[in-house]
Amino acid sequence: MIFPASHYGALNRRDVQTLARTTETALDQLSAGVATGWGQQHNPDGSHGDIVATTCACGQFKVRGFVTLDYRSGATSIPTLNVPAGVSVVLIKTLSVGGPLDIYGLKQVGQQFGDMLYLARDLTSAGSSIQLHDKALLTGPTPEGTEFHFASQLAPVGYPIFLLQGEPLPLIYLPGTGTNAVPAWTVPQFVTT
């Protein structure tokens, strides 16, 4: 909608001068910022110099990623499964024969409360089973803040061990769900009636 000039009130010379000064100051600051950044990233002839990166703690930002962790070399027990930063799906390869692969905890670089992660056993080749241990901090092999927590209803047959099948298992990193109310990777629960 377009209003007549009288709607905005009289625009006087002082208002125009104030607007001009404010705009000029903003443009000067912008120009100085660009010149500073340009000087850090470019040589005097305009070619690229060393690139200087800065980091930002900008809340929950996770790049979707996928990784396959290969434990076919014979490992049978992993105190802490180490997952690279930015990964949200982990596929685990195990030995084709032998006992289960026992995993007691999980640590992801930069993990924060609310992060989601999916674990799955690789089914493209026959492999041994994978057992995730609930609240392993009680038994000692996993560091604080890396343990799993499963409600006993989710794994009633083998509780406190959860058998990881081929389907992705969703986990969320939450405060207070582990041993002595420390943070843990927890399986979201759904209740039906």
Q: Which residue has the tokens 């109310």?
A: 181
CB 85 within 8 A of CB 61: no
Residue 93 has pLDDT above 70, yes or no: yes
Which pLDDT value is given to residue 109?
A: 86
Same domain, 71 and 149: yes
Number of structural domains (the chain) is: 2
Same domain, 95 and 156: yes
| 28 within a domain of the structure (yes/no) | yes
Please give the residue range of the domain that contains residue 91: 66-186
Same domain, 76 and 165: yes
Which pLDDT value is given to residue 52?
A: 57
Predicted structure pTM score: 0.62
For the stretch 129-143, pLDDT in tens is: 888 888 877 666 678
Residue 155 has pLDDT above 60, yes or no: no
Residue 172 has pLDDT above 90, yes or no: yes
Q: Which residue has the tokens 């690229």?
A: 48
| 191 within a domain of the structure (yes/no) | no
Strands 148-149 and 184-186: parallel
For CA atoms 163, 169, 173, 177, give the dihedral sign.
negative
Which pLDDT value is given to residue 167?
A: 83
Give the DSSP letter string of 29-89: HHHHHHHHHHHHHB-TTSSB----------SS-----EEEEEETTS--EESSEEE-TT--E
| 178 within a domain of the structure (yes/no) | yes
Residue 61 has pLDDT above 50, yes or no: no
Same domain, 38 and 125: no
